[in-house]
Amino acid sequence: MTIFYGGAFNPPTKAHIEIVNLILKTYKNSKVVIVPVGNSYGKNELIDFKFRYEMLKLVFDNERIIISDLEKDKAFDGTINSLDELSKTYKDLSFVIGSDNLLGLDKWIKYEKLLKTYPLIIIKRAEDDVDFLLDKYKNIIKKYDILEFGKKINSSMIRKDLKNHLEWLDPKIINYIRKYNLYEE
């Protein structure tokens, strides 16, 4: 099984690392393809792809983890299109999504095709009622697994107040951020 884990990773946090480790532990023979969004994604405070990609390379050094530059130079055209592109290389492809993203999933580009085509691995935050959130997709969703994850680490909080959230970052990331003066302390 190959597992697509996309996101801004702005910056990569200890939660991202723990989620990947949880996936690798749960799905013993799997690989995880980490796909940071490109610069065209249009998310507020998104630092350049180069920095986010290099930070991911710093914290993920495992033969079962692939850091992809698939979205580096392309205009954002939806997660489904990146999954379709990766499915040409990787068979048995699943998609990781945080339970908090289920609420607005119906606003995603071609979300119905995504749910019909690719099994989901839902990373459940303690406070989210996944059954309730999934209810509106029950007639179209192909398959899903739920992995419990209780951490509440948030990249946007780190960007807003780096010095008070350093414990949420790997030391390699902290050093990299300081080296390139990212997320102004």
pLDDT in the model for residue 154: 81
Spans in the chain with pLDDT lower than 70: 185
Q: Respond yes or no on whether the N-terminal peptide bond of residue 11 is cis (omega within 30° of 0).
A: yes
Indicate the pTM of the whole model.
0.94
Q: Which pLDDT belongs to residue 128?
A: 87
Crossing angle for the helix pair 171-179 and 49-59, nearest 10 degrees? 150
Q: Given this model, what pLDDT does residue 44 score?
A: 81
Structural domains in the chain, CATH included, are 2-154 (3.40.50.620)
Ordered DSSP codes for 143-156: -EEEEE------HH
Residue 36 has what pLDDT? 98
Please tell me the predicted confidence (pLDDT) of residue 125: 86
Q: Is 101 in a helix, a strand, or coil?
A: helix
Q: What is the pLDDT of residue 26?
A: 98
Please, which residues have CB within 8 angstroms of residue 169's CB and are 6 or more apart in sequence? 11, 13, 14, 158, 177
